[in-house]
C-alpha cells in the first residue's frame, strides 16, 4: 500500500522548494516540482521560531553525530550507505577521524528562524498543481509542503599524533577551551583565553550552511571563534534573514492524488526498517570507522619507520589498506541497492540482514582488522620506540647502514652499538644486555654515541651471536661484547667520583671497613648495599675519616654519586644530602681497643702521657692531670680517641 503519513527529513545541505518532489526509497529529490504555476503568497503559513543552540561533540561516532543533528532513523541509513550527497553543515556527518591517535572536538552552533507551511487544501493552491506528475512522477513518493529555516555551523579542532602520556591532558584542554564559549542573546561569542599553547597545535575545519563574506577560512581557534561570533549576522544576510532550509515536511503523493480526485495509483509504498535493524547498521559503520582508524595508524607507523622494517612488511600493510578501501566502497554500494529494494517492497528485509552477516565474515570486520593489526604489532611498537630513542640521542640504523660509515663519521668518538634481531629490538628490556645498553645511554652525559642495529634490516652488518654490545673508541673496536666484559658494572652497586680520587691519599688510615649503606634514591629498597667503584670495579672502603678508598685512590665523601642495581633506580647516579650521608656512614666502636696487641696499648699510654704534658705546657701549669681545666681534659680525651682510631 502507499504511504499515507506526513514525514520530515533533515536537509543536510540539500536545497529544495515548496512543491519539490521527493523519492523516499532513496531519500533523494527528483529535481521537479508539482506546480504548473506560482501558488498564492498568502497560502504559506509563516511562523517565527527563533532558537539558538550550541553543542559539543567529542566521541566522533556516527551515532553521536546523528544525535547532534537530530537525523531521523531512515535518513541515517541513506547517509551511511552513501545514497545522498551531503552539503553544507551536512558534511559534518562524514567528518570522522582518520586516526585513533588524534584528539578531535567539534563546536556545533545551530540557529532556527522560521517555519513555513503550504496550505495544500486551498482551492487556489490545488489549481496551481499539475496533474501530469501523477502519470510521470519519476518514482516520486512525496512532495515538499513545509520548510523549516535556519542554519548551522561546525568548527572542528583536531590534534594529531597524541600518545598515552599527553592524550588525557590534550583532551582536557580542548574540552575546557570549547566549553568556555558562551552565546548571549545577541549571538555574541565569548571564550576564556586558556591553554593557548596546546590549542595552537590544533588544526581547524569549518563546515556550515552560509557563505563567509570576504573572510578567509580560519587557521586558528581565535580566527574560528570570530567567524562563529559573526554567524548570526551571516544568517540575517541570507534569504531575507531566514537562512537556508534545514528541514522539509513531506506530504504523501498518494494522499495528494486523493485530494485532487485523481483516479490514479501511486506506487509509493515505503517499507520502514525496524529500529533494531537501523541500530545494527549504525553499529557496523561505527565499528568500521574505528577499525579503519587503527589500520591507518598502523600504515602511518609503517611509513614513519619504513627504513627500519622489511619491505615485505610495508607492502602487506599498504595492500591491506587498499583492500579495505575497495571492499568498503563495494559494501556501501551493495547495501544501498539492497536498502532501496527493501524500502520499495521488492525484496525482504532478510536480504539486508544477509549483507550485514556477510560483512562480519569479511576483511572489513572488527575481528579481521584486529587480527591483522596484531600480526604487525611490532611495527607500532617500533614507531613508539624511535622518538624516545632520538630524545636520548640513540640512533636506530636503517637499511644499507654499515659500521664502517659510522666509524668514519664519528672517528674520534666513543661509540656503542647494540646488535639484535627484529623480534626483540622493539622491547629494550627483554634481556640484561638490553637493560645494560639502556643504562649506558640514559646515564651518559653527552660524550658518547649510541646506535641500534637490527640485523634483519642492516644486512651488511654481520654478527654470529646476539644480542651484544660492541664498543668502539676512536674508530677502533675496543670490545666485541661490552656487556660480558663489564658485567660487574651492570650487576653491582656503583659509585662515581667527581673529581676522580687522588692517587696518593693524604689521609691513609691503617684501618678501613667496606662501605655498606643504602642507596640515596627514594624509590630504591631501604636495605644496606656493598658498593664498587665505577672506574676500577673494586670494592669501596670507608676510612672513618669522611673519605672513601678504592684502587683509584682517596676521595672525599662529598665527591661521590651512587647508583644501585635495583630496577627501581631509574635516574642515574645520585648524591646524598651531606647530613644524611654522615648519619649513614659506619662509626668506630671504642671496644675495638680491647682487641689491639699489648705493644699497641703500651704505645697508646705513652701517647696519653705526651698529650697531658703538652696540655700542661699550654696552660703554664706544673700540676698533674687532675689540675687541668675541665675543658682541657675534654680536649685531651678527644685527641686521645682520635689517636686510637688512627692506629
pLDDT in tens, 15-31: 999 999 999 999 999 99
CB 139 within 8 A of CB 25: yes
Cell of 114: 522560521
| Residue 255 burial (CB count, 10 A) | 19
Q: Is 24 left (phi over 0), alpha (psi -120 to 50) or beta?
A: alpha
What local confidence, expressed as pLDDT, does residue 46 receive? 97
- pLDDT tier at 416, thresholds 50, 70, 90: very high
Highest mean pLDDT among 296-300, 444-448, 567-571: 296-300
- Bridge partner residues of 29 (DSSP): 22
- Phi/psi of residue 205, each to 5°? -130, 130
Q: What is the mean pLDDT of residues 82-100?
A: 95
Q: What cell was used for 490?
A: 651492570
Average pLDDT score over residue span 512-527: 93
- Confidence band (pLDDT; 50, 70, 90) for 218? confident
Residue 184, pLDDT above cutoff 80: no
Separation between Cα atoms, residue 11 and residue 244, nearest integer Å:
9
| Residue 229, preceding peptide bond in cis (omega within 30° of 0) | no
Looking at the chain, how many residues does it have?
647
On the question of pLDDT at 646 being above 60, the answer is no
Grid coordinates of 258: 486523493
User: What are the angstrom distances between the C-alpha of 327 and each of 77, 321, 367?
Assistant: 18, 10, 16
Mind listing the pLDDT tens digit for each residue in 554-579?
A: 999 999 999 998 888 878 889 999 99
**Per-residue b/e over 569-594, b at no fewer than 16 CB within 10 Å?**
beeebebbeeeebeeebeeeeeeeee
**Predicted confidence (pLDDT) per residue in 306-323, tens digit:** 999 999 999 999 999 999
Residue 188, all three cell numbers: 555574541
Query: Does residue 261 have a pLDDT over 60?
Result: yes
Average pLDDT over residues 84-100: 95
Least confident of 330-344, 469-483, 618-632: 618-632
Question: Regarding the domain with residue range 392-488, which homologous superfamily does it belong to in the CATH classification?
Answer: Glutaredoxin (3.40.30.10)
**83-99 average pLDDT score:** 95
Q: What is the pLDDT of residue 629?
A: 43
Banded model confidence at residue 600, pLDDT cuts 50, 70, 90: low
pLDDT tens across 187-196, in order?
Answer: 444 444 556 6
For residue 576, how many C-alpha atoms fall within 13 Å in the half-sphere facing its CB? 22
Per DSSP, the residues of 74-104 read HHHHHHHTT-S---GGGGGGG---S-TT-EE
pLDDT reading at 94 higher than 70:
yes
- Cβ(584)–Cβ(517) below 8 Å: yes
**Mean pLDDT, to the nearest integer, of 582-607?**
64
pLDDT tens digit sequence for 454-506: 999 999 999 888 899 999 999 999 999 999 999 988 899 999 999 999 998 88
* Closest alpha carbon to 153 in 82, 85, 225: 225
Mean pLDDT value of segment 184-211? 68
SS3 503: coil
Tell me the sheet residues that pair with 207: 154
For residue 615, give Cα distances in angstroms to 638, 640, 646.
13, 12, 20
Q: What percent of the chain has pLDDT over 70?
A: 84
Question: What is the residue-averaged pLDDT of the chain?
Answer: 87
* Nearest-angstrom CA–CA distance, 611 and 336: 109
357 pLDDT tier (thresholds 50, 70, 90): very high
Dihedral angle computed from the Cα positions of residues 402, 406, 408 and 412, in that order, rounded to the nearest 10 degrees: -150
Half-sphere exposure of residue 642: CA atoms within 13 angstroms, side-chain side = 8
For residue 1, the model assigns a pLDDT of 41
Q: What is the pLDDT of residue 163?
A: 87
The whole-number pLDDT of residue 115 equals: 98
Residues 6+ apart with CB under 8 A from 642: none
Q: How confident is the model at residue 640 (pLDDT cuts 50, 70, 90)?
A: low
> Cell 675543658 identifies what position?
631
User: Where do the structural domains in the chain lie, given as residue ranges?
Assistant: 7-259, 275-377, 392-488, 492-584, 591-646
Cα–Cα distances in angstroms (integers) from residue 577 to residues 4, 370, 520, 574, in the given order: 87, 52, 8, 10
Cell matching residue 590: 671504642
State residue 610's pLDDT score. 65
What is the rounded CA–CA span in Å between residue 123 and residue 82?
40
Q: Which residue has the cell 682510631?
A: 645
In the block, cell 698533674 appears at 624
Question: Per-residue confidence at 602, pLDDT binned at 50, 70, 90?
Answer: low
For residue 115, the SS3 value is strand
pLDDT above 90: residue 642: no
Q: Is the pLDDT of residue 243 over 70?
A: yes
Amino acid at each position: 500500500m502507499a504511504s499515507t503519513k506526513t514525514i520530515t527529513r533533515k536537509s543536510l545541505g540539500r536545497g529544495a522548494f515548496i512543491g519539490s518532489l521527493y523519492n523516499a526509497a532513496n531519500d533523494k529529490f527528483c529535481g521537479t516540482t508539482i506546480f504548473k504555476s506560482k501558488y498564492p503568497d498568502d497560502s504559506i503559513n509563516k511562523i517565527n521560531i527563533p532558537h539558538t543552540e550550541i553543542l559539543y561533540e567529542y566521541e566522533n561516532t556516527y551515532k553521536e553525530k546523528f544525535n547532534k543533528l537530530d537525523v531521523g532513523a531512515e535518513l541515517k541509513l541513506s547517509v551511511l550507505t552513501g545514497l545522498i550527497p551531503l552539503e553544507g553543515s551536512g558534511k559534518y556527518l562524514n567528518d570522522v577521524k582518520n586516526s585513533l591517535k588524534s584528539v578531535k572536538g567539534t563546536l556545533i552552533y545551530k540557529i532556527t528562524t522560521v517555519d513555513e507551511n503550504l496550505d495544500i487544501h486551498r482551492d487556489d493552491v490545488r489549481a496551481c498543481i499539475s496533474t501530469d506528475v501523477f502519470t510521470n512522477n519519476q518514482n516520486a513518493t512525496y512532495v515538499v509542503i513545509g520548510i523549516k529555516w535556519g542554519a548551522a555551523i561546525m568548527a572542528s579542532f583536531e590534534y594529531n599524533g597524541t600518545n598515552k602520556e599527553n592524550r588525557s591532558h590534550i583532551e582536557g584542554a580542548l574540552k575546557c577551551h570549547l566549553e568556555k564559549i558562551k552565546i548571549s542573546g545577541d549571538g555574541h561569542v565569548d571564550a576564556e583565553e586558556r591553554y593557548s599553547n596546546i590549542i595552537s597545535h590544533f588544526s581547524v575545519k569549518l563546515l556550515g550552511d552560509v557563505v563567509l563574506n570576504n573572510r578567509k577560512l580560519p587557521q586558528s581557534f581565535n580566527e574560528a571563534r570570530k567567524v562563529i561570533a559573526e554567524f548570526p549576522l551571516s544568517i540575517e544576510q541570507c534569504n531575507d534573514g531566514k537562512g537556508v532550509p534545514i528541514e522539509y515536511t513531506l506530504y504523501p503523493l498518494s494522499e495528494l492524488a486523493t485530494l485532487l480526485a485523481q483516479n490514479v495509483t501511486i506506487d509509493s509504498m515505503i517499507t520502514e526498517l525496524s529500529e533494531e535493524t537501523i541500530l545494527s547498521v549504525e553499529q557496523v559503520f561505527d565499528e568500521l570507522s574505528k577499525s579503519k582508524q587503527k589500520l591507518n595508524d598502523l600504515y602511518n607507523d609503517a611509513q614513519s619507520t619504513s627504513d627500519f622494517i622489511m619491505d615485505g612488511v610495508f607492502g602487506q600493510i599498504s595492500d591491506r589498506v587498499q583492500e579495505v578501501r575497495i571492499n568498503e566502497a563495494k559494501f556501501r554500494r551493495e547495501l544501498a541497492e539492497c536498502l532501496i529494494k527493501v524500502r520499495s517492497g521488492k525484496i525482504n528485509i532478510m536480504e539486508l540482514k544477509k549483507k550485514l552477516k556477510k560483512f562480519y565474515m569479511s576483511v572489513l570486520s572488527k575481528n579481521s582488522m584486529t587480527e591483522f593489526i596484531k600480526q604487525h604489532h611490532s611495527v607500532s611498537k617500533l614507531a613508539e620506540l624511535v622518538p624516545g630513542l632520538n630524545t636520548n640521542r640513540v640512533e636506530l640504523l636503517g637499511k644499507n647502514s654499515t659500521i664502517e660509515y659510522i666509524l668514519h663519521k664519528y672517528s674520534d668518538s666513543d661509540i656503542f652499538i647494540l646488535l639484535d634481531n627484529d623480534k626483540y629490538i622493539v622491547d629494550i628490556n627483554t634481556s640484561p644486555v638490553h637493560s645494560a645498553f639502556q643504562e649506558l645511554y640514559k646515564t651518559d652525559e653527552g660524550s658518547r654515541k649510541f646506535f641500534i642495529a637490527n640485523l634483519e634490516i642492516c644486512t651488511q652488518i654481520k654478527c654470529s651471536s646476539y644480542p651484544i654490545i660492541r664498543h668502539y673508541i676512536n674508530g677502533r673496536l675496543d670490545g666485541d661484547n661490552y656487556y660480558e666484559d663489564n658485567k660487574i658494572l651492570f650487576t653491582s652497586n656503583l659509585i662515581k667520583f667527581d673529581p676522580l680520587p687522588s692517587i696518593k691519599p693524604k689521609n691513609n688510615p691503617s684501618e678501613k671497613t667496606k662501605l655498606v649503606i643504602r642507596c640515596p634514591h627514594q624509590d630504591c629498597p631501604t636495605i644496606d648495599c656493598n658498593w664498587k667503584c665505577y672506574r676500577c670495579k673494586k670494592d669501596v672502603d670507608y676510612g672513618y675519616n669522611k673519605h672513601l678508598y678504592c684502587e683509584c685512590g682517596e676521595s672525599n665523601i662529598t665527591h661521590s654519586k651512587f647508583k644501585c642495581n635495583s630496577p627501581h633506580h631509574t635516574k642515574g647516579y645520585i648524591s646524598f644530602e651531606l647530613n644524611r650521608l654522615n648519619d649513614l656512614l659506619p662509626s668506630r666502636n671504642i671496644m675495638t681497643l680491647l682487641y689491639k696487641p699489648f705493644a699497641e696499648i703500651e704505645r697508646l699510654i705513652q701517647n696519653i702521657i705526651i698529650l697531658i704534658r703538652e696540655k700542661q705546657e699550654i696552660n703554664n701549669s706544673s700540676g698533674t692531670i687532675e689540675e687541668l681545666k675541665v675543658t682541657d681534659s675534654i680536649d685531651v680525651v678527644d685527641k686521645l680517641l682520635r689517636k686510637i682510631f688512627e692506629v
